[in-house]
Amino acid sequence: MILFKKPADIKWYIAKGQHSGITVGFVPTMGALHRGHLSLIEKAKRDNELVVCSIFVNPAQFNDPLDLEKYPRPVEEDIMLLSEAGCEVLFLPEVSDIYPNGPHKLKDYNLGHLETFLEGASRPGHFKGVVNVVDRLLEIVVPNKLYLGQKDFQQYAIIQKLVDELKFGLTLHRIETLREEDGLAMSSRNLRLDGEQRIKATIFYKSLLKAKKAIDEGQSILIAKRIVSDEFEKQNVKLEYFEIADSKNLNLLESVKDTQNPPVMCIAGYVGDVRLIDNMFLN
């Protein structure tokens, strides 16, 4: 695996390969890699001749400086995992490489309602930071295909809008969330959970299953919300939101009959001071 730190160097290397006709698959990450990330690498390898992964903990998408400070950064372990997974290129830039004018001088994008509710409501400015870093990374890597995980579904929807509007000329692939044996969605933040918190964190998946069962049995979204709220209250875990949305435009639904697209359940909450999110599609 070849490691690049400077944008000009990796840009030259990739352009040379694309000029010879190879396709490039790109997996952007913030590191602390797990099997979910590696599944993106595996899919990219099946689809492309060259796979590029980036590791960059983006300061512009953190609302809480303490959250940024606590974010795990096991870079040496990440490099080993990527090498074993067969990733050909790793891009490991500094903040100054991504934000030459500093991470506080960001471009504005018209993301519409997508950035103002769910994750956007509790993390103002978060998605502005996300689209700025993705825009910059796509400008540097110029991939043919981009691979994102389903766990951050709202982020996926926003990046799809960015890709469509800025006409990057690439294909965006959404890869299904990988889970631990007990159903917990794989996440870098899981590393911050202690033993008791790790057990409690399964409430996200279990609550989604119970809500799905209720909806499948013909219950209303209001009843499903009450079921999820009661589950969190019983476990003394803080629920931030549970909503059901149209998976295409993320419009919130009052009834699953209000859309022809598959509805998606989105949930977020806190186990201790660790914020976790998850989602699940309805039939």
Contacts of 33 (CB under 8 A, 6+ apart): 55, 77, 78, 81, 82, 188
Three-state DSSP class for residue 260: coil
Strands in 129-223 per DSSP E: 145-149, 171-175
Three-state DSSP class for residue 149: strand
Q: How many CB atoms lie within 10 A of CB 188?
A: 19
Contacts of 12 (CB under 8 A, 6+ apart): none
Which residues does the annotation mark as catalytic?
37
How far CA 52 is from CA of 23, 117, 168, 174, 254, in Å, comes to 11, 32, 17, 17, 41
Counting every residue, how long is the chain?
A: 283
How far CA 231 is from CA of 21, 99, 245, 267, in Å, comes to 53, 43, 21, 13
What distance lies between CA 12 and its chain's CA centroid? 28
